[in-house]
Amino acid sequence: VVVCLYWFTSIAMVFLNKYLLDSPSLRLDAPLFVTFFQCALTAALCLGLSLGAACGPPCAGLPALRLDPKVSRSVLPLSAVFIGMVTSNNLCLKHVGVAFYNVGRSLTTVFNVLLSYLLLKQTTSLYALLACGVIIGGFWLGVDQEGAEGTLSWTGIFFGILASLCVSLNAIYTKKVLPVVDGSIWRLTFYNNVNACVLFFPLMVLLGEFRTLYHFDKLGSPSFWGMMTLGGVFGFAIGYVTGLQIKFTSPLTHNVSGTAKACAQTVLAVIYFEETKSFLWWTSNLMVLGGSFAYTWVKGLEMRKVQEDPNVKSSERNETGV
């Protein structure tokens, strides 16, 4: 049930965001505003559920939330990376098709390995590096095939690579900042999104998005705000259902599920948008998905070996667990 819930939430969120960011019928060129609204809604939902915790189930057990300026400043570096992550994700989705979206931002695993070595001085096994090589090969083949079909957007590719980098940095900074919020992901989500809302304002002014919104003809449309709210709810829910999937299965199963979900999402997008793709284009997707699966499998085996071998050094145990 939780795997199905994760698939539904994740795929629905991608299609909803694609509609809000790049729909010909909507014609809203304000990607930062869409992202800002989702962050604001997430912060409001966190606060609302926290206030409802005193009422008992299903909110019981959630920590009380209050805005502490000192904590907010401590979380600010992570919030800057978080803004880069959500914005580049949405800008990538705006400029590339949903079918290519998974390939366009597929280098997260590669950046994980690279940053683990550069920042944490942790090495990676040969088999894991070979899996990363397959992912990189699939990425470049996908870019080549998008160019051959005349649908390549270098802007989308740039933001896809940036999104992959920011996702990796976000994981590292999250680990560093968690002690500031007493290890509570709930509190971290709240502070992250509040900080993001504040930081988005000058960016929207700088890029003229308030002027765009002023001339937007559907600004008073209930259906538009309904879709915006639905997109924000799915954006909030994805964090919760991801946690549920990990809790009721395992981190390894979660990664395998995510890889399979990306495959299903690609096929659905090709069918929904009535696209025709070449054999090599499909090969690039299979290389990315296969490389991601292989990397997850290799790391899972390494973690199991570390857990079963009591003689493994502490440093090696930490390296394998990243």
**266, 118 contact by CB (below 8 A):** no
Full pLDDT tens readout for the chain, 322 residues: 989 999 999 999 999 999 999 988 898 999 999 999 999 999 999 888 887 766 655 555 667 778 888 999 999 999 999 999 999 999 999 999 999 999 988 998 899 899 888 887 888 899 999 999 999 999 999 999 999 988 889 999 999 999 999 988 888 888 888 888 888 888 888 999 999 999 999 999 999 999 999 999 999 899 999 999 999 999 889 888 887 887 788 776 777 888 889 889 999 999 998 888 999 999 999 999 999 989 988 988 888 887 776 555 544 444 444 4
**232, 65 contact by CB (below 8 A):** no
**138, 292 contact by CB (below 8 A):** no
Selection from 127, 89, 108 nearest residue 10 by Cα:
89
Question: Is pTM, for the whole model, over 0.95?
Answer: no
Q: For residue 53, what is the DSSP state?
A: G
Residue 172: Cβ-neighbour burial (10 angstroms; 0-12, 13-18, 19+)? middle
